[in-house]
Amino acid sequence: MKKTLVALAALASVSAFAQSTVTLSGIVDLGYQNISNLGGQQTNQVGQNGARTSTFKFNGVEDLGAGMNANFQFEVQPSYIAGDGNKYNANYYVAPVANGGVANGTAAVTNQASAQSGLVGKGQSFIGLTDATLGTVQFGTINGATFGAFAAVSQLGTGIGSGYGSGNTFGDFTRFESSAAYKSPVINGFDVSLLRGTGNDSQFGVIGTTSTAAVLRRPTVTDIGAGYTNGPVAVKFGRLASKATGNESSAQGVVTTTQLLGGVYDAGFAKFSLATGSVKGEDGAVSATKADYKLRIAAVTVPFGANRVIAQAGDIKIDNGGSTVNVGAKVKTAGLALERDLSKRTYAYVRYEATDLAGYKGTNYLINGAAGTAAYGPTGSKRAVTAVGISHSF
C-alpha cells in the first residue's frame, strides 16, 4: 500500500509539472574586437554580442485545457563587461536617441524602437494566452514583425557584419514597450500578426515641457506582419507605422513608416536571402527629421562539415532628407563570418564588418564621447570591425 501511495504521489507530481513548467534558456557571447572608428580612431577591447545577443530568458507555460495555454517570458540582457556592455562599441555610435535613427539634438529621424534604457528586463517580455485554433494574444514589451522580417533574412543575425542597430546601416526597430499583439496560428504555411503600442511617450518628458531633446521610449506604433513558409522557402513582410507626440515648443510629431519584405531559400548546399524595404519619416515643418530611404539586404551561408561561411551586404539609399543626411549618398555595410561548431550549443567565430556611413553627416556622431564637427570625407566616414569570439547557448 505504501509503495502504491508513493507511486501515485510521484505520478501526480509529474502530471502537475507537465501542466505548468518554467524553463531558463539563453546565450552567452563574448570575444576580442579590433575597431577602426570614424575619424581614424583605433580601439581594441573585449566585448559581447559579436555574433548573437547575450540573454537570459525565463519562459513559463500552463496548460489550461481544450487546446489553450497561458504563457509568459521575461528576458534579461546582461552585461558581462560592465558599463554599457549591450553595445559592442559605444564610441562610434550615433548620438543616442531612444527611437533609433540619426540624432541632430532634437529628435530621431526614424523613431522606430524602444531603447528600454536601464531596465532590468531589457529584452522581449510578455504574458499571453494561446489557443491552438484562434492564435495568441500578448501584452508587454514585444518584438515587432518588421524586426522578424529582418531576422529572417539577416544571416549574420544582429551581430557584427549585419548592419543592424543604431549607427549601422539599418535602424534599431526591435521591440516596443507598453504594447499588445495578436499572432495567428500557421494555416497552410501562412500567418499574420498585429502589434499596437499604446503611445504613452509623454511619461518621459514630452508633453508639458519645452525641451526638444526629450527621450521618446514609447511612441504610438502599429506593426503589421505576414509570413509564408513552405519547405525550403520562407517569405516575411513587416510594416511599422510609428508616431511620437510633439512637445509644446515645436507642436510637431515625428511620424515614421518602415517596410521590409524578405525571402529565404535553403538549397541545402547554401542558403540565400534577399530583402527590400523603405523608411519614410516626416516631422511637420522640421525638415531636419524628414526622411525617404530605400533599404536592400543580400546574404548567403555556405556550410561545410562543422563550419560555415556567411557573407552579407546591405545599403540605404537616401533619396530625400533634412540637414542630418547627405541626400543622394548611400550608407553601406558588408560583413563576412567564419563559424565553427564546437558542439551542438557552442561555436567559435571570426567576423568582419566594413561600413561606410557617408550618407549621414558627421555632426551627428559621437566620437570618443564628443560630437563630430563636420561631414566626413571619403575616408573619415568609414569604419571596420574585426571580432574573434565564442557563442554558447543553454
For residues 314-339, give the mean pLDDT: 85
In a domain, 213, yes or no: yes
In a domain, 14, yes or no: no
Higher-pLDDT residue of 304, 380: 304
Domain containing residue 212: CATH number = 2.40.160.10
pLDDT at position 275: 97
In a domain, 194, yes or no: yes
pLDDT at position 320: 78
The range of the structural domain enclosing residue 237 comes to: 23-393
The angle subtended at Cα 103 by Cα 97 and Cα 223, nearest 5°, is 60
In a domain, 342, yes or no: yes
Higher-pLDDT residue of 140, 281: 140
Render pLDDT for 74-118 as a digit per residue (tens, 0 to 9). 999 888 886 543 443 333 333 333 333 333 333 333 333 344 444
Higher-pLDDT residue of 261, 293: 261
Cross-strand partners of 25 = 57
CA nearest to 257, candidates 226, 279, 290, 224: 279
CA nearest to 162, candidates 18, 314, 24, 264: 314
Give the list of residues 6+ apart from residue 34 with CB closer than 8 angstroms, or none. Answer: 42, 43, 44, 385, 386, 387
Q: How many domains does the chain have?
A: 1
In a domain, 7, yes or no: no
Higher-pLDDT residue of 330, 265: 265
Higher-pLDDT residue of 170, 45: 45
For residues 288-304, give the mean pLDDT: 87
pLDDT at position 149: 95
In a domain, 243, yes or no: yes
Contact 147, 100 (CB under 8 A): no
With cut-offs at 50, 70 and 90, classify the pLDDT of residue 245: low
Supply the DSSP string of 203-224, one letter for each residue: GGS-TT---S-------EEEEE
In a domain, 337, yes or no: yes
In a domain, 12, yes or no: no
Say whether pLDDT at 243 is over 90: no
* In 209-329, beta strands by DSSP E: 220-230, 233-244, 254-266, 271-282, 291-304, 307-321
List the grid coordinates of 164. Answer: 543592424
CA nearest to 201, candidates 111, 287, 137, 124: 111
